[in-house]
Amino acid sequence: GWQASMKSGSLSYIIPCNRLPVQLMSQVRVYTSNGQKKDLGSEGTNGSTPQETPHKVGTGRQDTSNAGQKQSFLKEPIQVKVKAVLKKREYGPKYTQNNFITGVRAINEFCLKSSDLDQLRKIKRRSPHDDTETFTVYLRSDVEAKSLEVWGSPEALARERKRRKEAEIKYRENLFRNQRLLREYKEFFGNTKPRSSTAAMFFKGPGKVVMVAICINGLNFFFKLLAWVYTGSASMFSEAIHSLADTCNQALLALGISQSARTPDPSHPYGFTNMRYIASLISGVGIFMMGAGLSWYHGIIGLLQPHPIESLLWAYCILAGSLVSEGATLLVAINEIRRSARAKGLSFYQYVVQSRDPSTNVVLLEDAAAVLSVAVAATCMGLTSLTGNPYYDSVGSLGVGTLLGTVSAFLIYTNTEALLGRSIQPEQLQRLTELLESDPVVRAIHDVKATDMGMSKVRFKAEVDFDGRVVTRSYLEKQDIELLLQEIQQVKTLEELEAFMLKHGENIVDTLGAEVDRLEKDLKQRNPDVRHVDLEIL
């Protein structure tokens, strides 16, 4: 571990040290052949006698060649540069002394009261939330020390944590009973809350379309069922089953709309938007099983065991009324999709295929299939009444089942694609990429991912290569340069240099974090569809 350097005949020993290197100088004298001695030590060092010098060369008995070699050796000194570095600090596998902790975590994890935190140091940091600029945090070491002061020992703190955990588990077990008591209190004192936003969702937009469809299809099912009981027509039975399937599926869509409006919680931090797609997917499966399956079954039975059909007058009347009502619902759905597509800058076809609004899509396709199936059923029933052949009626039932199967397959495909997390359109992704790359603080972006989370909500993620010079200049522009120069001139030791670099290094890192927040805010403001932005520093 020793390092030696020889310069101008001096021997320098450098001892390893945690602070500054310490140099020990030993003097070297060289005696020439004529008896003279040359002191090659450092200035201001007293000479020593030949007996005291351990490194000496013989006098008259040495030849001139040895002296010449020594002089040439002294003319060419060997220099070894030693680099002064700070000793590496070992932090160990777990280091939390400089960690920050919020007040809520301090109270919950260390069993403290809010009054206990008033005595601790408060530190203002940048807030991770959009609605606030700064928030207060505490040093974890201070919180740990305060908890030991309050509870006396780590064992007592552990017992208190265990007790609170058991109480939380017991509360969860009695959650159903607590909810029932809460409902009783509300009934006793009256519900003074304003109308929830969930109920208001069914008076406009997709919710309104779904509620209109539920009412109309429910009435259609009732009258078609009466017509089937009166006539025994297989096509009319298929129509009744079709209306029942539509009513049940649209009730499921209404449930999905109400669930999608729930507030995000710790178990679902990104919310419940996908509940609409889940409800639409189940609706597609329901159409396939109830509508298509039963229609095919009844049509096959009619082909294998044909039976005569009674008067079809009432059936025609009910089909005509169903055509008018289903057509009205279809127009409501078409107008809603046109309005939404125009707001998003998409065509009608793109909006439907991309399943931007799954609930309205289901109503649109179900009502379109209903109008077509009414036409198919009326045609087949007319052929049966004209020819007296019941096979036409059974073929009509198979045609209605095939139409429902096609609609259900399309719904299953589009909603599955949406639930898998598909990417946004390339044009929109290009706009987001150009917005980031045009910022001076960004050198390049890599691994860009933009996922459509459904219902016009986009999650954007990218690896960003930041320009450190621009970030540093942004920090310096906010500082007093003269005061900063004075701080630099006052740095004389390694300890002062370390303190200076740690102070301004942390501030530059905070500046980088502020730049990340600014970029995320700009992305959200210029692209309202972007709700979640994850910019990772490369």
CA 327 and chain centroid, separation: 42
pTM score of the predicted model: 0.61
Separation of alpha carbons 294 and 468, rounded Å: 67
pLDDT at 440: 93
CA 469 and chain centroid, separation: 29
pLDDT in tens, 140-177: 889 989 999 999 998 999 999 899 888 888 877 777 67
pLDDT at 169: 84
Q: Residues in the chain with pLDDT < 50?
A: 1-62, 73, 191-196
Secondary structure of 78-126 in HEC code, one letter for each residue: CCCCCCCCCCCCCCCCCCCCCCEEEHHHHHHHCCCCHHHHCCCCCEEEE
For residues 452 and 307, the answer to whether their CB atoms sit within 8 Å is: no
Separation of alpha carbons 267 and 77, rounded Å: 72
Quick one: which of 397, 393, 385 has its CA closest to 292? 397
HSE at residue 238, side-chain half, CA atoms within 13 A, is: 38
pLDDT in tens, 58-114: 444 445 555 555 555 455 566 666 566 666 777 777 777 788 888 888 888 899 988
pLDDT at 187: 56
pLDDT at 83: 60
* Domains of the chain with CATH codes: 100-189 (3.90.530), 198-420 (1.20.1510.10), 426-537 (3.30.70.1350)
pLDDT at 436: 92
Q: Residue 360 burial by CB count (10 A; 0-12/13-18/19+): exposed, middle or buried?
A: buried
HSE at residue 24, side-chain half, CA atoms within 13 A, is: 8
